[in-house]
Structure 1
Amino acid sequence: MTTSVDQRAFRDALGRFASGVTVVTTVVDGVDHAMTASAFCSVSLEPPMVLVCSHRTSRFHDAVLTTGTWGVSILTEEARDVSAWFADRGRPLEDQLAGVPFHRGVNGAALLDDALAWLECTTHAVHDGGDHSVIMGAVTGAAVRDAVDDPLLYYRSHYGTIVRSPLSEKTIQEKA
């Protein structure tokens, strides 16, 4: 497929889409693999499914395809440093979770404690996404942390959080 889209314009346009920030994890032969991902979204409520995109040349890509199981930690605004750490492609593989509080999910993947919510997934399908793979997961477990409600957001290569508006889906429905 050839394209005439200017790459800088394409990246700049995508940068204007604010997204939440996740860390996706798996474990292969006792070695944890993790990556920061903003290319994550829900796919289906019934059955519960999500997707994440992983660059084909990343260590995480091969690891998650090998295991077929993974965890997703939806980060809080306090997790900026953790997000930056797992986004650094040059970090060492060994002990990359040292100093990062986490617990293990049922499937063995690390779930970061500094998260709003956690999902555990089994790979349902993998699709070609150019230089990435689109990994669709069947959600096998989900949990939320009610005590914290400030998500970490990513917009134009910067971290941020939300400013709540008095208008919401619920208040608009109440007016109707």
Structure 2
Amino acid sequence: MNHPISKGEFRDAMARVCAPVNVITTKGPAGRGGFTATAMCSVTDEPPTLLVCMNARSAQAGLFVENRRFCVNVLTPDHRDLAGLFAGQQSDMEARYAAADWTEFPSGNQALSDAMVSFDCRLVEARLVGTHNVLIGEVVDIRCRKDGQALLYFDRSYVHVASQAALHGG
């Protein structure tokens, strides 16, 4: 392929990549915010670090950088509606949070009470790459469920898969 890749080609190709659905939250001196993201992955386990990508044009972009912390909440199929709210179906942040139960980490970050896993992160770097901020966070606390199924995004739709424990009767 010798031609530049168009935005549409890239987006269509990325739609074929299965990704976990996450609600990313922050709470700190700059206020409380949250958004839905599939662009999240581990970076290293020494120290435990992950990254999240957030549209730099989002009204909340500065909030996450100013608070210097965020929480990654990995969703289950029961959170499909919540994912939509945090993806922008609901612009009022208080209404987004009112749609679920939350617990608080010692850092002040809010974790979804019934998330598959919640990673409490201290922001160590924010870098602008094209249209998005890449937020790199050191994981300072984790809350993890032992059961449930993951909500995934594939072909521009929500899907889910059973956990290995559920498949093997455990």
Q: Same fold (TM over 0.5)?
A: yes
Q: TM-score, normalised by structure 1?
A: 0.85
Aligned to 2:93, the other structure's residue is in SS state coil
The separation in 2 between residues aligned to 1:106 and 1:157, in whole angstroms, is: 36
Q: Is the 8 A contact 2:29 2:67 kept in 1?
A: no
Q: 1:94 to 1:143 in 2, by over 3 A?
A: closer
Shift of residue 59 of structure 1? 2.5
Q: TM-score, normalised by structure 2?
A: 0.88
Shift of residue 32 of structure 1? 2.0
Shift of residue 98 of structure 1? 1.1
Partner of 1:59: 59
Structure 2 unaligned segments of length 5 or more: list them.
Answer: 165-170
Q: Is the 8 A contact 1:71 1:105 kept in 2?
A: no
The structure with the larger Rg is 1
Partner of 1:149: 148
Q: Is the 8 A contact 2:31 2:63 kept in 1?
A: no
Paired residues for 1:1-176 under 5 Å? 4-29=4-29, 31-88=31-88, 91-146=91-146, 148-162=147-161
Partner of 2:168: none
Structure 1 unaligned segments of length 5 or more: list them.
Answer: 166-176
Q: 1:164 to 1:29 in 2, by over 3 A?
A: closer
Q: 1:86 to 1:47 in 2, by over 3 A?
A: same
CA RMSD of aligned residues (A): 2.0
Aligned to 1:88, the other structure's residue is in SS state helix
Shift of residue 140 of structure 1? 0.5
Q: Percent identity?
A: 28
Q: Please identify runs of 4+ aligned residues in structure 1 that moved more than 3 A.
A: 28-31
Question: Alignment length, in residue pairs?
Answer: 163
Shift of residue 149 of structure 1? 2.6
